[in-house]
Amino acid sequence: MSVPSIEGIRRILVVGSGTMGSQIGMVAALAGYDATVQDISEDMLARAKADLSARLEANVAKGRLDAAEAGAALGRLDFTTDLASAAAGADFVIEAATERLQVKEQIFAQLGQLAPEHAILATNSSTLGSSKVAAAAGRPDQVCNMHFFNPALVMKCVEVVRHQETSQATVDTTMELARRLGKEPVLINREIPGFIANRLMGAIQREALALAAAGIASKEDIDTTARAALGHPMGPFQLMDMVGLDVIDFIAQATYAETGDESDKPDPQVAALVAAGKLGRKSGEGFYRYGS
């Protein structure tokens, strides 16, 4: 069955209520879509709902969002543990579960059975190409990556990645949906580990880590150079701390597993910090110390 044009997308389902999934759901609701965030955990859903409400209240208080608009968006966003009922009415599904292939395969197999035949099934994965879950869904031509960036409520870029069997109609509808969500989509025509953003970021981080390890310059001066000379909003060490060093290490491990390229090996400096529980801002210490 052919996928719907953008006008046929009315209800969006997001599977997974973590930071990314919940914020993607709110992005859809703010753009005027009926949206549902599904998770197997009632506690996770409750935390997601509370966090989103607090974020909207803060934006209203700062004058960034109209109170009526915030209330209307919350009214368009549902939270549920019932995947079957949520998927049954979805025109577009975005999976934002944990970055584990077996988990994603199970979800896509369920979605292939539960979602309407016309529904597009996208994964928000930043490391796993959608070809790895397309067969499980039973509709490979309607599967692609739709990778949002953290925080999804703020970041504008969305990477749309097609695999060999993704149809042009699926690509066109996904790209246009991203635009209607207020994002700036980029199309990646062939799966490649890291897509675009992570490859660019990884190249800069590898060079920064090598310069620091060789004693060429301190991490502080490397960060200052990135900001003052290249115009980056933050330096590579600051950025790694913000993203989370465990996330940086996981991306490197996943990329190296795909490519086998020695240059993609996880960095020992990052791995050592992760092993010590120093994950960056979220743990209070990474390359830098944080706190009062």
Residue 147 appears among annotated catalytic residues: yes
> Is residue 155 pLDDT above 70, yes or no?
yes
- Is 290 a domain residue? no
Q: What is the pLDDT of residue 99?
A: 86
Q: Please, which pLDDT band fits residue 230 given cuts at 50, 70 and 90? A: very high
* Per-chain mean pLDDT for the chain: 95
Catalytic residue among 95, 130, 159, 163: 159
Same domain, 35 and 85: yes
Contact 119/90 with Cβ under 8 angstroms?
A: yes
Residues 172 and 216 in one domain: no
> Do residues 172 and 206 share a domain?
no
Catalytic residue among 17, 125, 145, 198: 198
Question: By residue range, what is the domain housing residue 214?
Answer: 197-276
Instruction: Kindly report the CATH number assigned to the domain that includes residue 255.
Output: 1.10.1040.10
Per-residue tokens: 71: 């209330």
Compute the average pLDDT of residues 233-256.
Answer: 92
Same domain? For 184 and 205 the reply is no
> Is 283 part of a structural domain of the chain?
no
CA separation for the pair 243, 210 (Å, rounded): 19
Catalytic residue among 17, 147, 167, 191: 147
With contact defined as beta carbons under 8 Å apart, do 55 and 153 qualify?
yes
Output the CA torsion sign for 185, 183, 231, 208.
negative
How many C-beta atoms surround the C-beta of residue 192 within 10 A?
15
Same domain membership, residue 51 and residue 129: yes
DSSP sequence for 21-71: HHHHHHHHHHTT-EEEEE-S-HHHHHHHHHHHHHHHHHHHHTTSS-HHHHH
Q: How many domains is the chain partitioned into structurally?
A: 2
Q: Tell whether 284 is covered by a domain.
A: no
Residue closest to 197 by CA, chosen among 243, 131, 266: 243
Over 90: is that where the pLDDT of 291 sits? no
What does the block give as tokens for 284?
Answer: 């209070």
Domain co-membership, 220 together with 249 = yes
Tell me whether residue 129 is in a domain: yes
Confidence of residue 255 (pLDDT cuts 50, 70, 90): confident
Is 285 inside a domain boundary?
Answer: no
Query: Would residue 287 count as lying in a domain?
Result: no
Which residue, of 134, 160, 188, is where some domain finishes?
A: 188
Query: Which CATH number does the domain housing residue 127 bear?
Result: 3.40.50.720
Distance CA 50, CA 60 (A): 15
- In whole angstroms, give the CA distance from residue 21 to residue 39: 9
Query: So what's the pLDDT on residue 1?
Result: 61
Q: Mean per-residue pLDDT for 242-254? A: 90
User: Is residue 254 over pLDDT 80?
Assistant: yes
- Is the same domain home to 143 and 230? no
Peptide linkage before 151 cis (omega within 30 of 0): yes
Query: Domain for residue 282, yes or no?
Result: no
Q: Is the residue at 28 inside a domain?
A: yes
The reply to whether 143 and 52 lie within a common domain is yes
pTM of the model: 0.90
Write the Ramachandran bin of 183: left for phi over 0, alpha for psi from -120 to 50, otherwise beta: beta
Q: What is the pLDDT of residues 118-138, one digit of tens each?
A: 999 999 998 899 999 999 999
Distance (Å) of CA 182 to CA 19, 31, 95: 19, 7, 19
Domain boundary among 188, 212, 237: 188
Beta bridge partners of 121: 93, 143
Q: Are residues 32 and 149 in the same domain?
A: yes
Helix (H) / strand (E) element for 168: namely: helix 168-180
Active-site pick, 17, 124, 126, 131: 126
